[in-house]
Every structure is written in structure tokens, then in C-alpha cells.
């Protein structure tokens, strides 16, 4: 049996454009593999906390306080979900020319030295391999051409793409035309 991990990071609830596109991609995966087990993280409803002074050492150090142990336990759980997944679908809308902080906080918990990446002479090396990572992006503006190109963190220097590579994703598929897309609201655009 294969496992699908679904990460939605929009805070817009059911109105979320990226969530609709993610749902279409999930449906496509399920059609191809009806037995797939789906685990969801709805970060806009149930956010992963930001790393703060009380918790930082739990993820990037040695946990000693109860808050640090709790952060370590959450990080362990999120990493276990990643490890178990064969396919990972991430909804990543553009908020203020970057990722939603909900997604950033999740990344801060799963990118852990010795667990999901290691340092090598050639730079950071991902330790999770053989996974298909699908990043679905939405944004209000046009960045593929014209003066907006400089601000196109998604297409030109995608933070999510970079982090996925660090995680050892074998392939990153950024959908311009996701499989079986729902009707697109006027401000939506999914990018390859
Ligand atoms: C807080 C916030 C910040 C946004 N910032 C940008 C932005 O910098 N550039 C842009 O093109 N669109 C921006 N948008 C528009 C969203 O990227 C766009 O509506 C997208 O489809 C939202 O996806 P969602 O509905 O899944 O949250 C912003 C929207 C929100 C709510």
C-alpha cells in the first residue's frame, strides 16, 4: 500500500484556491491508486507553532525542558509522516512574495540535520529518497514576465523547491496544469 501526505498551508479555509487545486491532485492520485492511505496536515487550521526561544533547542539542539521535548516530539511526528509518504502534495500559495508562515513553520520542524538531511563536502544532502513531491502554487499577481519577474520566488528560486530537494525528493513537479483541475477562480494561477 502506498502513502500520500497532503500539506495545505493556506489560511483561507474552503475558499482557498491552492486547497482546491490540491484536492484535484489528491483525487487524481486516488483514482490511479484507490488504496492509497492519505495523511493530511491542514496548517491553516491547525498550525505548527513557530520555533521560539522556549522550543528552538528541541528541533535544532538538545531538548532538555518540557517545551523543548514537546517541540522535538512534534518534529519527530512530522518527520515520520514524511518518511512514510511515497507522494507528498504541498499547497503553497504566495503570501507577501513568499511562503505562508504556516508552511515555513512546518519546514522548520522537518528539516533536521541527521534526520532529513546531512552536511557533506558538496553541501547539504537530502536523506529522504524515492519520493514524488508535488508542489501546487497559487498567487494573485503575474510574475512569469515583465517587471514582476524579480519577485517570482516560486518559479525562479522556489523556496519550497529548494527545501524539497534538500529533503531528498527524487522529483519535483510544479504544476502549471494540474491533473483534472477544478474551475479556476479569477485570481488563481498554478505554476510549473
Ligand atoms: C496574506 C496574503 C498575502 C498575499 N500576498 C500576495 C503576493 O505577495 N503576491 C501575489 O501575487 N499574491 C498575493 N496574495 C494573493 C494570493 O497569493 C492568491 O490569492 C492565492 O490564490 C491565495 O491562495 P489560497 O487561496 O490558497 O490562500 C496574497 C494573499 C494573502 C491572503
CATH of the domain at 22: 3.40.50.360
Rounded to the nearest whole angstrom, what is the distance from the C-alpha of residue 140 to the centroid of ligand 1? 5
Residues 6+ apart with CB under 8 A from 64: 57
φ, ψ (nearest 5 deg) of residue 45: -95, -40
What is the torsional sign of CA 142, 148, 152, 157? positive
First to last CA, the chain: 29
Q: Is 75 among the domain residues?
A: yes
Tell me, yes or no, whether 183 lies in a domain. no
pLDDT at 162 over 80: no
Domain ranges, residue 97 = 3-174
Structural domain contains residue 191:
no
Express each pLDDT in 20-52 by its tens digit: 999 999 999 999 999 999 999 999 999 999 999
Give the residue, by CA position, lying nearest to ligand 1 atom 24.
Answer: 16
Cell matching residue 104: 515555513
- Does residue 189's CB lie within 6 angstroms of at least one atom of ligand 1? no
- Tally of structural domains, the chain: 1
Q: What is the model's pLDDT at position 169?
A: 41
Q: Is the CB of 187 under 6 A from ligand 1?
A: yes
Has residue 107 been placed in a domain?
Answer: yes
Query: What sections of 34-65 are H helices per DSSP?
Result: 56-60
Residue 65, pLDDT score: 98
Q: Is residue 123 part of a domain?
A: yes
Is residue 155 included in any domain, yes or no?
A: yes
Amino acid at each position: 500500500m502506498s502513502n500520500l501526505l497532503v500539506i495545505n498551508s493556506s489560511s483561507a479555509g474552503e475558499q482557498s484556491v491552492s486547497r482546491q487545486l490540491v484536492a484535484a491532485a489528491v483525487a487524481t492520485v486516488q483514482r490511479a491508486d484507490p488504496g492509497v492511505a492519505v495523511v493530511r496536515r491542514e496548517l491553516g487550521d491547525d498550525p505548527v507553532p513557530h520555533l521560539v526561544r522556549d522550543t528552538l533547542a528541541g528541533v535544532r539542539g538538545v531538548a532538555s525542558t518540557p517545551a523543548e521535548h514537546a517541540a522535538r516530539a512534534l518534529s519527530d511526528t512530522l518527520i515520520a509522516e514524511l518518511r512514510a509518504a511515497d507522494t507528498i502534495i504541498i499547497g503553497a500559495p504566495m503570501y507577501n512574495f513568499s511562503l505562508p508562515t504556516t508552511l515555513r513553520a512546518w519546514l522548520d520542524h522537518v528539516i533536521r540535520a541527521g534526520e532529513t538531511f546531512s552536511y557533506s563536502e558538496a553541501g547539504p544532502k537530502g536523506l529522504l529518497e524515492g519520493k514524488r513531491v508535488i508542489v501546487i502554487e497559487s498567487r494573485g499577481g503575474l510574475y512569469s514576465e515583465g517587471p514582476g519577474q524579480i519577485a517570482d520566488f516560486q518559479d525562479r528560486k522556489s523556496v519550497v523547491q529548494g527545501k524539497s530537494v534538500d529533503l531528498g525528493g527524487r522529483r519535483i513537479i510544479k504544476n502549471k496544469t494540474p491533473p483534472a483541475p477544478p474551475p479556476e477562480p479569477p485570481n488563481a494561477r498554478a505554476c510549473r
